[in-house]
Amino acid sequence: MSVFAFLIGTLSLAAAIGVVVAAKPVHSALFLMANFATLAILYVLLDAQFLAAAQVIIYAGGIVILILFVIMLIGHDPADHSHQDLTRPAMASLVLGAILLMSLGLQLTGHLEVGTDGGIASGGSPSAIGTELFTRFLLPFEFVAILLLVALIGALIMGRRESGEPEEPAG
Amino acid sequence: MNLNYSAILPEMVMAGGAIVVLMVDALRRIENHRGDAANRGSGLLLTLSLLVAAGAAVAAFAVRGESGLMFQDSARSDALSFGIRLIVLATTILVLLVGSRYVSTFTRYPGEYYSLLLLSATGMMAMGIASDLMVLFIALETFSLSLILLAGMYRHNRSSTEASLKYFLLGAFASGFFVYGSALIYGVTGTVSFSGMGPALQVAADGGPGAVLLWAGIALLLVGFGFKLSLVPFHMWTPDVYQGAPTSVTAFMSVGTKTAMFGALVRIFLMTFPYGFENWTGPLIVLAVLTMTVGNVTALCQTSIKRMLGYSGIAHAGYVLAGLVPGTETAVNSALFYLFAYAFMNIGAFIIVMAIEHSVETDVERSQLRGTGAAMPVLAGFMALFLFSLSGIPPLAGFFGKFLIFRSILDGGLAWLAAVVVVNSAVSAYYYLRIVVTMYFQQRPQEVHAPQSSPAMQVGMVLAGVMVLAIGVFPAFFMGLLMVPGL
């Protein structure tokens, strides 16, 4: 089991490095999908089935597809020429990455006891999460409905063709 | 389980009302044989939305007595949440009063416009009751997403679309910081609810192992707040978005966002993290001074009235932040009072801009106001009233707002910060009063456009004007109304 986890972890790490070093954006996106998928397997190994399913559906499914759409719409530049010096985004990611490393380091070395007040960590099965959503996190759960309503209205008005706009070619 | 639904009645009325408005709009479209006369029946939608907002205000007063933690510690109803609800609802009603005719100049979908406005206000009110990082984030996203959509509702106008996209991208960026900060705080404290964080925060503040992560988390959270509140140096998006969005949306955004975010700022920084709040006064002072100064100095150079009001909005956020710096009960009360006064004077000024702008362009240059004092005395008179109040001239609402902020800063022993506020007010008086001079002492050009004010708009204008006077004349009453006793 642990050998398998180690193998998957290595693959996941390799995919993550691939995202950063790949020259073509499409390759980065595909590496990202591989990374998300291997992460989902790790979640299953940790007995968090719901999280694994959500990971596959939302990240590997939704987000990577969205990224691919964006690459398709913008038109992919064959290679990225923009890494001469440290740009502002690069600086920001360095700082944020350092914070992430620090938090992981503190947890792995046992300096930081992570206690959770819910049953999310214990189990992560769909039924445990469902119970949490309808008891402890009822109010956020209900507010999400309003957020989704806003998103729905937004998708409708942004996607609707105004009169006077040119007809798009079919197909 | 504590499911005290009556305590969140105002939010439920608003959200439910928004759905009703959408359904009535759908029925209206069927009646209108789709397509033709997009305008017909939009007055009904407006009336309905106004009733919903008024109903929510009644509900807010009715449940004022309900206080304490609810919904498994994820919401808190108290004097602060009441104050936020009151300011947001006043803003919503004033912005709705702009009327259906103005709305029809920029969008063919009044139903969606009104319901998004109501849903956005719901999110802002939810920011006031949030007592949990999750509710806080969902409320933040709800009102931001609605505002992004509202800003882009003028589909045929390039700058409106640009404003929407810009707000979307920077909003996503800000949300990223906000979520990262929240995750770190959750990691250190082990809970998302503000009420449960106390002991863990105390340990971390005393130099426990998680201290570094906690401070990093709070700093990231503050960056998220900075973007949404358009504090300098996170303000780059503000002028473009304010100028490009339809003016009624700009008015709503300028007051509503500030109110909701300052409410959450008080809830988090003064009520949840009081441990070691002294550590945060330094950064907050720097942000406040930068925000006030950059906002005012840049506003000086603007010729577009909307852009000028955008930059001055940045400066006003700086005043409120400066008032909050002492972190006392007085500080919170002065900030809430200032936001309440700001709602009426700022939206009042925006209503006049809407009356003067011609339908196609969503902007007014200062030169367009030349000679309006003689040609449209009522409109110019109200504009002067709002501008006097914004620059803090007694006995208007803005004066008492600034006065309370001075007092709060002086009580906190920060005389030099109070001096910065005074100098900044003087600078702002110059560019506000310059408009009054343009209106009354410059010749009107030959070709004139009649102002397009609808009856509803006039009601809104008079209401805002009366409130600006009333707050100035009876400040004690409104201070009592918005009082937050203790922290």
Mean pLDDT of chain B: 87
Q: Is the pLDDT of residue A33 over 80?
A: yes
Give the pLDDT score at B84.
94
Q: Is the pLDDT of residue B206 over 70?
A: yes
Q: Which amino acid is at B3?
A: L
Confirm if B1 and B71 have CB atoms less than 8 A apart.
Answer: no
Q: Is A140 in the B-facing interface, judged by CB distances under 8 Å?
A: yes
pTM score, whole prediction: 0.90
Query: Which residue of B6, B72, B144 is the best one to mutate when testing the A interface, meaning the one whose CB has the most A CBs within 10 A?
Result: B72
Query: What does the pLDDT look like over B412-463, one tens digit per residue?
Result: 888 899 999 999 999 999 999 998 988 888 877 656 666 667 888 889 999 9
A151 and B115 within 8 Å at the Cβ level: the answer is no
Q: Tokens representing B89?
A: 């609802």
Confirm if B242 and B310 have CB atoms less than 8 A apart.
Answer: yes
Query: What does the pLDDT look like over B229-282, one tens digit per residue?
Result: 989 888 888 888 988 888 899 999 999 999 999 999 998 888 877 666 667 788
A140 and B123 within 8 Å at the Cβ level: the answer is no
The residues near B456 (Cβ < 8 Å, ≥ 6 apart) are B46, B97, B98, B99, B100, B101
Res. A167 pLDDT band, cuts 50 70 90? very low
B116 and A114 within 8 Å at the Cβ level: the answer is no
Confirm if B400 and B473 have CB atoms less than 8 A apart.
Answer: no
Orientation angle between helical segments B42-62 and B110-129, nearest 10 degrees: 10
Helix spans in B266-414 (H): 278-300, 305-324, 329-356, 372-375, 377-391, 397-411
B71 and A138 within 8 Å at the Cβ level: the answer is yes
State the Cα–Cα distance between residues A136 and B311, nearest whole angstrom: 42
Query: What does the pLDDT look like over B291-335, one tens digit per residue?
Result: 999 999 999 888 888 889 989 999 999 999 999 888 888 889 999
Q: Is the pLDDT of residue B50 over 90?
A: yes
What's the CATH class of domain A1-76? mainly alpha
Q: Please report the ipTM that was assigned to this predicted complex.
A: 0.90
Mean pLDDT of chain A: 79
Give the pLDDT score at A54.
87
Residue B474 three-state SS: coil
A76: left (phi over 0), alpha (psi -120 to 50) or beta: beta
State the Cα–Cα distance between residues A8 and A38, nearest whole angstrom: 6
Phi, psi of B365 (to 5 degrees): -85, 155
State the Cα–Cα distance between residues B33 and B42, nearest whole angstrom: 15
Q: Is A111 in the B-facing interface, judged by CB distances under 8 Å?
A: yes
The residues near B122 (Cβ < 8 Å, ≥ 6 apart) are A146, B11, B14, B15, B18, B142, B143
Orientation angle between helical segments B110-129 and B247-265, nearest 10 degrees: 10
Res. A169 pLDDT band, cuts 50 70 90? very low
Res. A78 pLDDT band, cuts 50 70 90? low
Burial zone of B413 (CB within 10 Å; 0-12 exposed, 13-18 middle, 19+ buried): exposed
Sign of CA dihedral A104, A106, A111, A117: negative
B145 and A112 within 8 Å at the Cβ level: the answer is no
Query: Which residue of A146, A148, A156 is the best one to mutate when testing the B interface, meaning the one whose CB has the most B CBs within 10 A?
Result: A146
State the Cα–Cα distance between residues A110 and B103, nearest whole angstrom: 58
Query: What does the pLDDT look like over B111-157, one tens digit per residue?
Result: 899 999 999 999 999 999 998 899 999 999 999 999 999 998 888 88
The residues near B386 (Cβ < 8 Å, ≥ 6 apart) are B345, B346, B348, B349, B352, B464, B465, B468
Give the pLDDT score at B387.
93
**In chain A, what are the domain boundaries?**
1-76, 129-161
State the Cα–Cα distance between residues B419 and B166, nearest whole angstrom: 35
Q: What angle do CA B14, B168, A58 make, to 5 degrees?
A: 85
